[in-house]
Structure 1
Amino acid sequence: MSNEQNSYRADINGLRAWAVLAVVLYHFSVPGFSGGFAGVDVFFVISGFLMAKIIYTGLGSGGFSLWNFYFSRARRIWPALMVLCCVLLVVGWFILMPMEYQALGKHARDSLLFSSNLRYLGEAGYFDAASSGKWLLHTWSLSVEWQFYFLFPMLLILLRRIKAELSVVCLSLGVLLSVSLCWSIWLSFSQPEDAFFTLQSRMWEMLAGCLVFLLGDRIRPVRPFWAAVLSWLGFALILGSIILLDSRFVWPGGWALLPVLGTCLVILVGVQTSPLVRGASFQWLGDRSYSIYLWHWPIMVGLVFLEKQNSALWWFPGILLSLYLGHLSYLYVESPARKRLSRWRPLKAIVALLLVLATVLSAAQIIRKYGFPERLPGAVAAMELESRKSPPRLDECTVQREQCLFGTGPVRAVVIGDSHAGALANVVQQSMNDASAGLYLRARAGCLPIFGAKKLNGRGTECLELQNWIRTELPDLYPGQPVILINRTTAYVMGGMPGEADQLQNQPEYIFSRGYSSPEPAFLDEFRRHYINTVCEIASHHSLYIVRTLPEMKVNVPYALARDILLSRQRDLSLSLEEYHRRHEFVWSVQDEASARCGVEILNPLPYLCSATGCPATEDGRPLYYDDDHLGTLGGLKLLPMFQSIFRAEVQK
């Protein structure tokens, strides 16, 4: 997100303004900016253009120094980033639980070393903390840029040394761009997290900016009329991406061509008088875009911490605070550091910058290692321990392996489903009369085992494998033994709970014939038909028991309890029965129809988890859930009598 350049261009500064505004409004969930994530792609193109300008011009004049280039990048990026990390580490001392604080230290270290994109890629598993709880998640883009800064000059220097003509340089970069783009498109469908976070799948966007600089003089339109037309077309592509796209589109993939091409057009024609870039407000935002980008995400995470992220009343103050802190960072950190370090002798400036960096890195590493639990009340640390008490073998049996066996004796039941099935498998095994009796589990986190159901955007090949196994292998597996289906079914149909940080509300996660933006009647009819056909097919060869969807809480229960202690806050963490039935009414009706049509048995967890008024998230001050919707050890044990009824019924058959 660099803005260093040899000559000032109002159009590029205005593009920065639009990019940072789009990202900020998107992250604050302001309606109308559902594709604001495309702002990062705009930044990437700008960076590529400016880097090509600095490096190629310097090489042409004979005045380019690789080390001076790296130092200018460090001087531009590190100071404001180090201040942000220091502030977050200080604030985290007072409000974050030990594991959260250790994670912040780790993320601060990796952000300052420009490897945070790889860190977040490694943490992108199903059971990882929600992204909205990671205070420095947005630094992944800085890491991708810095990795590009490190490699790109070496490529141009190599081409220069072999005396490559401009056409050869452009051809070489064009080939790299094409390979990276194709890789990005393919990876966006097969491994979307890798496509999002890695340089290999993002490099084409920066290379596009590089080619705009290298070829600009040859392809730039001469007539002002056509320049104006192309400039407006470029902005139409950018703004169309910001307004019309949303998280359902694979990204970056082919859709990222829209903002990338739009940015290339705007930079290529270089119209400096467009009302979309020339205004004082655009130039103000553009100057401060880097600092605003740095500060806006921690403000958003702070709203999540306070559980205010879904309140429109908090969006405006959050956005204003982001702009204000970005302004302060620009005035008192970013600009002074860049100017002062540029006036010092190079050795002095480098030593000073590295000493400060080493100090911040050391603090972050110490925090990563220890977490300092003694700084908080003991009850807070105890609640964090509860959040770590996930049911036995949950990750192993729903993410790492295709199937698991519980118990040492003959298998007496088969459990299928998603992570909720994995969380309760041990409870099902305990509910059998014989403690050594075996249980076979086949479950995949986030998967709906209904024939014909496909995850949005083609993702989830493991879910299709689970469906195929149910259809082809389950019929002959452990004949005579009951099958128990446990799923968070409603979430796949209706989206996440209101207030849920890591799952969109009112947006289906699966498609059948085509995608739907909401659970409209046509989609619900498709789901009903496929669900009933699937469970009736299973019931034709095994006794089938379906567990109703468990009550879902709006917060991560152990963390909410810990924060209540920190904030001296008391409240009732529970879900009303009215809310539960309103959310799950449709799925209940489908399950009831399946029961009437093909005799499947329905197991209702509400009598065991809820009272006449609601479903509590705690019992005697202890959480029943280890997050917002998975039952923990204590909560799972409350369902023992429900599962015991299965084996009593099987004995009587």
Structure 2
Amino acid sequence: MRHRKDIDGLRAIAVGAVIATHAGAPLPGGFLGVDLFFVLSGFLIAGMMATGLDRGTFSLRAFWIRRARRILPALALMCLACLPAAWLLAAPDRFDAMGQSLVATALSASNLYFFLTSDYFTPAAETLPLLHTWSLAVEEQFYLAFPPLLLLAWRRPAAVPALLFAALLASLAAAEIAARGPHASAAFYLPPFRAWELLAGALAGILTRPGAALAPGLAGGLAARLAAAQAWSRRSRAGGAPGAAGLALILAGLALVPPSAPVPGLACLPVVAGTVLILVFPGGPAARLLSLPPLTALGLISYSAYLWHQPVFAFARLASFTPPSPVLMAALTALTLALAWASWRFVEQPFRDPARLPTRPFLALTGGTLAALVAVGLVADRTGGLAPARFAPWQVALFDSARPSPLRDSCHHVPGRMLAIGPDGACRIGADGRPTRQASARPPALAVLGDSHGVELAYVLARRLPPGETLVELTASACPPALTFASDNPDNPGCTAWTAAAVAWLEARPTIPVALSWRHAIYLHGKTEADLAASPSDRTDRILGPLSGPPLPDSPEGAAEKRALYAESLIALATRLRASGRRVILAPAVPELVQPVESWIRLRWTEDGPHEALPPSYHAARTAELKALLPRLRALGVETPPLPPAFCDARACYGARDGRALYFDTNHPSLAGAEALARALGSLAESAPVEGDPATDAPATDAPG
């Protein structure tokens, strides 16, 4: 396949959009640059394969070696460069996770790794150095699976386009459905849902390859029509219209598709269709524009630029307590391009040339490097991030105490996971900390209902129960007490139904005491990280500010009406739970840090404690509406204990006390923080039923709800 400069220009647009988005530029759909890359890969690979199959010269072994030469050397160099930066900047848990992702990247499985480990509790995506390798893994898996399948299908070349088109439609339908449902994370990371983008390019490459019009049957007819359309495009004054339309579609998608769009479904169609139009109809003003030297130069180094931008940005963010400024991000972008040019010049080009590096030495060198990366990753994972070698003892102690519940993965409902946890399948946690989903004649002694802020509290409260008693954990990620309104929280589209089911489950068991725990402030005022760009401030106008996206329905009354909806729903929920006379306690809302606790440990705190993190006014402003609601809750008989002094006093709110971190991220209490909360709640087990109540307890089951 001849070299096309306009394809280099498309690569430049793709990588430029991704880098600009990750650098904080106002380009809503810049993340779709990855989808553009997928279409290009499918086009180039399938077109090259089909041409080789027509001529009888295609070799699977030669194909895979060419792909390895193209991808692996620069990837291995980037991974190696991440290790010293991670050693200096990553907290133990992050260094541990870095090791795991290093192994997954070396084995072309990082998309599977990030699918299994990335959720609501994962550190922010912009601080994960190898997160971007998920897209490389998708392409590598395509390179492994597609060629053998195409070889089998090529026994009947005329049927190949129809097969590809059918597979494309099936993948697109699956992607659209999954991206709008509870398994959006699977749609984003896994190849079956991304296949349609690669197949769109592959179909274009096969139908427009030289000699395709000579094939018999439907494929030949389609290829002949495309060839005629291409000939018209070259002759006619209006022939550049398809390419121009394609470029307009791409730019519109990058500029207009919002980050919250369900991808990789129909929201990706403008970019995918636009790319296919430019590939199928070369020439014209769009091709001339894409062939401009600045774009083709960036296109040549686009692969290395994509490789280097994420770790450069991620480590810069880890190195600073505050978000990088636009000026710094511009400098980091320039550094990325410099590294990309060096990688292209001194790694990509030499390794792709068999004359400079024959196949056997290449395979030995590359294989040995990947094996070394796997070994280093396993060591980092098995040694807990090598914390004693990298941090002072007091820091190691704080890192070790910044722990979540060991049952987060197994007992907390997180939308998008393959195993959903409904009320009927909720965990019953015993005093030994072991969970079971099997009901028994003896009802639980206690229930915890809430969002992710209830997880550690549930675990700690369960450990305080007498032997033989259990606690049922009813927690759902990013789910407010949405009983009387339809939550539109994109992180949990099924929140309202889940809340209703949980309350109904508890109503059927009227003797079980309930502890309620939510991160009220985020639903009332939005995220804290976007509110303060520097150190905590006493200025409440900056704290409250405009409403920044609470997951409540839109209302013409604006923020005040949304907060009123939240308050009335919480009152309604408490009223229903208190109707049986059971004991109901609202856990106090913990303060929210403006940076992860690991950043405080690494960059701000000294050995001397207690470790201050926030002014009390910050927490007071974030929870003012909740405080105003407490008298109404107390009138219903709901207990509302105050925030434990471990978290706040008149002087400050703290992130750590007595050598123990009270958080494991920016806002979730650690096990140590949950212990302080549990002491404030008193002994909830005192009012638990002593004997079983078969009339209200559910039948035994191991199946999750």
For normalisation by structure 2, the TM-score amounts to 0.80
Matched residue SS, 1:383: helix
Cα distance in 1 for residues equivalent to 2:244 and 2:12: 16
Deviates more, 1:18-27 or 1:621-630: 621-630
Q: Distance in 2 between matches of 1:78 and 1:191?
A: 31
**2:549 equivalent in structure 1:** 508
Aligned to 1:25: 20
Residue 508 of structure 1 aligns to which amino acid in structure 2? G
The structural deviation recorded for 1:244 is: 2.1
**Shift of the alpha carbon at 1:332?**
1.9
Counterpart in 2 of 1:101? Answer: 95
Alignment of 1:222-371 (within 5 A): 222-223=232-233, 224-271=236-283, 273-274=285-286, 276-306=289-319, 307-309=321-323, 311-339=325-353, 341-370=354-383, 371=385
Preserved CA contact (<8 Å) 2:431 2:463: no
Q: Which residue of 2 aligns with 1:534?
A: 573
1:11 lines up with 2:6 in the alignment:
yes
What is the Cα deviation at residue 519 of structure 1?
7.0
- What amino acid sits opposite 1:383 in the alignment? L
The answer for the alignment partner of 2:172 in structure 1 is 181
Comparing 295-304 and 445-454, the one that deviates more: 445-454
Aligned with residue 81 of structure 2, among 71, 87, 96: 87
Q: 1:457/1:610 Cα in 2 relative to 1: closer, same or farther (>3 Å)?
A: closer
Aligned pairs for 1:470-509 (under 5 A) are 470-479=502-511, 482-498=513-529, 507-508=548-549
- What residue number does 1:402 align with? 426
* 2:453 aligned with 1:420: yes
Quote the Cα distance in structure 2 between the aligned partners of 1:244 and 1:195.
21
Counterpart CA distance in 2 for 1:403 and 1:578 is 37
Please give the residue correspondences for 1:114-153 in structure 2 after superposition, counting only pairs within 5 Å: 114-153=108-147
Kept in 2: contact 1:536–1:594 (CA 8 A): no
Correspondence for 1:3: none
- Tell me by how many angstroms 1:646 deviates: 7.6
Comparing 247-256 and 594-603, the one that deviates more: 594-603
Change (3 A) 1:572 1:36: farther
Aligned to 1:34: 28
**What residue in structure 2 maps to residue 385 of structure 1?**
400
1:583 aligned to 622, 633, 641, which one?
A: 622
Assess if the C-alpha contact under 8 Å between 2:91 and 2:598 holds in 1: no
Q: 1:525 to 1:564 in 2, by over 3 A?
A: closer
CA distance in 1 between partners of 2:496 and 2:69 (Å): 49
Greater alpha carbon shift after TM alignment, 598-607 vs 137-146: 598-607
Alignment-mate amino acid for residue 325 of structure 1: L
Give 1:448's aligned residue. Answer: 480
What SS does the corresponding residue of 2:590 show, helix, strand or coil?
coil
Structure 1 residue 329: deviation in Å? 1.4
Q: Provide the rounded CA distance (Å) in 1 between the counterparts of 2:621 and 2:561.
A: 20
Q: Deviations over 1:41-91 (max 9, x none)?
A: 000001011011110111112221111111111101111111111111233
Give the C-alpha shift of residue 211 in structure 1: 1.4
Cα distance change of structure 1 residues 67 and 515 upon mapping to structure 2, 3 Å threshold: farther
Residue deviations 1:406-453, cap 9 Å, x none? 559986643211222221235556889x89876543222332232244
Note if 1:207 corresponds to 2:231: no
Q: Aligned residues: percent identity? A: 28
CA distance in 2, matches of 1:366, 1:426: 30
- Take 1:336 and 1:386, find their aligned partners in 2: how far apart are those partners? 48
Q: Quote the Cα distance in structure 2 between the aligned partners of 1:259 and 1:515.
A: 33
Q: 1:140-173 CA deviation, whole Å, 9 max, x = no partner?
A: 101100111112211222122x2432xx111010
Task: Kindly indicate whether the alpha-carbon contact (under 8 Å) linking 2:412 and 2:455 is maintained by their aligned counterparts in 1.
Answer: yes
Structure 2 distance, partners of 1:215, 1:594, is: 69
Determine helix, strand or coil for the equivalent of 2:303: helix
Counterpart-to-counterpart distance in 1, 2:283 and 2:480: 51
Secondary structure at the counterpart of residue 585 of structure 2:
strand
Cα deviation per residue 1:157-203 (whole Å; 9 max; x = unaligned)? 2122x2432xx111010011111111111221231111111111101
1:143 & 1:280 partners in 2: Cα distance?
30
Contact residue 115 and residue 189 of structure 2 kept, 8 A: yes
Q: Which residue of 1 aligns with 2:184?
A: 192
**2-structure distance, mates of 1:84, 1:178:** 36
Alignment partner, residue 71 of structure 1: 65
Question: Would the alpha carbon gap of residues 622 and 569 (structure 1) be closer, same or farther in structure 2, given more than 3 Å must change?
Answer: closer
Counterpart AA for 2:300: D
Q: In 2 relative to 1, CA 24–349 (structure 1 residues): closer, same or farther, beyond 3 Å?
A: same
Preserved contact between residue 456 and residue 515 of structure 1 (Cα < 8 Å): no
Residues 570 and 486 of structure 1: is their aligned pair in 2 closer, same or farther, counting only changes over 3 Å?
A: closer
**1:185 and 1:254 in contact (8 A); partners too:** yes
Rounded to whole Å, the distance in 2 between the matches of 1:238 and 1:40 is 12
- For the residue of structure 2 that corresponds to 1:552, the secondary structure is coil
Following superposition of structure 1 onto structure 2, how do residues 532-611 of structure 1 map, counting pairs within 5 Å? Answer: 532-541=571-580, 542-558=582-598, 560-563=600-603, 573-589=612-628, 591-592=629-630, 594-595=632-633, 600-605=638-643, 609-611=647-649
Indicate the RMSD between aligned Cα atoms, in angstroms. 3.5
Change (3 A) 1:38 1:16: same
Aligned length: 629
One-letter identity of the residue aligned with 1:320: A
1:284-338, Cα deviation, whole Å (9 max, x unpaired) = 2111111110010001211231234354343222222222221221222222322
Quote the Cα distance in structure 2 between the aligned partners of 1:103 and 1:185. Answer: 31
Q: Indicate if the aligned counterparts of 2:39 and 2:200 stay in contact, CA closer than 8 A.
A: yes
Question: For residues 570 and 308 of structure 1, do their structure 2 counterparts lie closer, same or farther at Cα, with a shift above 3 Å needed?
Answer: farther
Contact kept, 8 Å, 2:398 with 2:659, in 1: the verdict is no
Hey, what's the Cα distance between the residues in 2 that align with 1:153 and 1:623? 52
Q: 1:613 & 1:420 partners in 2: Cα distance? A: 25
SS at match of 2:449: strand
Q: Deviations over 1:554-608 (max 9, x none)?
A: 222145314558x99999641222222333334444x348538856444431655
Instruction: For structure 1, list consecutive stretches of 5 or more residues without a partner in the other structure.
Output: 1-5
